[in-house]
Structure 1
Amino acid sequence: MTATATGHAPVTGAVATPARGRRLPGLRGVGWLGYASAVIIVLAALVAVFGPLIAPFPPNQGDLAHAFVGASPAHPLGYDSQGRDILSRLLVGARSSMLGALVVIAVAMTAGTVLAVIAAWRKGWVDSLISSCSDLVFAFPGLLLAVLAAAVFGPSQWSAALSLAVAYTPYVARIVRGAAIRERSLPYIEALEVQGSAAWAICTRHVAPNIAPVIVAQGTILFGWAALDLAAISFLGLGVQPPQADWGVMAADGQTGVLQGFPAESLTAGVALVLVIVAFNVLGERLNDRQTKDHS
């Protein structure tokens, strides 16, 4: 067998195929905490989708005569400072809280993964340029970018979400780049190149699917942080704007109630946020630990 002009031995007969076993295996091996976290996440997603439909009262319908009235059979969580049903606002607010974080993760994971795969594939000055730009964006915290976006475009959930997506993208690119470089160095990639497969085809059909466990694990962890950051931005008045129901807005609006001995609004919104954030972080860490063991 003689070497070709490319320096590689010609491939005869056999077709190069990627190593198996690194595709998404579901929740296998995440433990009972991982399963419990997955249940909480599914419940939160269902509430986000169907919350406005199952809310017993209009979330913005208030009656000052019932301000800070406690729990009753018709209003299990009582009323807020504006006489609005807290349970209804909690159910409706799940949609904006979850949807905003979903936008952040969708944009950041897509952009970060594309940049990571390009950097790992092209190497050289392309990799150096992407790494330098990522380091530059790292200098601006997500909350600072959200403040700048609010100053330029006005306070809104979408300006806050896009600014956080920009801040999260270099983190995603840095994490995924390591996995992409490992995948790029495997023998089947070289064999596919020798066979004449296009770079984009190799990346989309083999590299990206095989690093999917890393992408999913990091996206799950970042979803919790995105929900927390967006709630903090809304708490500061730079995200979702009142009277729209949102967990961050509810935590801010409930401050007066806390001072007067009626903490239900802030407390319920805070508990909902903590449960969702902890669930995403625990599940993400378990997925990350599992894929690390699979590679060891």
Structure 2
Amino acid sequence: MSKSEEVILQGEDLRLEYGRNVVAEHLDLSVRRAEITAIIGPNGSGKSTLLKALARLLPPAAGRLTFMGNDLWQLPEKQVAQKIAFMPQSAALPADLTVTEVVKMGRLPHRSFWSSFQAEDEAVCKEVLDRTGLADLAQRPMCSLSGGERQRARLALALAQQPQVLLLDEPTTYLDIRHQLELMDIVQHLHQQLGLTVLMVLHDLNQAARYSQRLVAMKRGRIIADGAVQEVFNSRLLRDLYGVENEIKTVEVRGRMENIFFPAAVCGEI
């Protein structure tokens, strides 16, 4: 197995519950190193719940989660935080903190309780601010930022952990088109430059197809398809997944041929 095919994070026969309600079950997912994967599916299909389980925020009711072959729930919490970063759909951060202060919070897993901020931490934060295009906003308070800038600050916070795996839960929700593209381009560049492994939940199917190498389709708490984008992103599967008649057209975008999803009409239950 080549390094690019190495399984870094894995769930086996997972059953996920909230209280006594089963949200998803019989889930098998292998996250491979240096791959961008998008989880797609209708509301209530268990996408975000699966992501939280992989982030070790929700213990599975059954099944096994492993990171690099080790039981995820047996690893020290600090070690997990150094390896896996989770960016929720929205996160309330203190409005009076500056962008730099927020990003510095991402260094906590790499420090002991009593240790002071080191030169290495400063260097990591500076690099993260540069990569996310926030260097000029470093001293601005969070309350003064636009929605897109705040989302980039949340991404910078996650990146400051220097994770091997980045988990993103609907990162472009509530953003306008420009800020959606900015954020997704940053994620793609991080993957290309750092070999970062990315697993994200996306509602925008065209973004999922454009920015991912692999798609995982979920419906009613089950994974119904898992494969390369060209295998999963097809009209028949998306009709069955969402209950929507659709067409997929190939168009040229800035010299690159892309498949675009066009919904047409509701065609049944999901």
TM-score, length basis structure 2: 0.21
Greater share of residues in helix: 1
Greater share of residues in strand: 2
TM-score, length basis structure 1: 0.19
Find the structure with the greater CA-based Rg.
Answer: 1
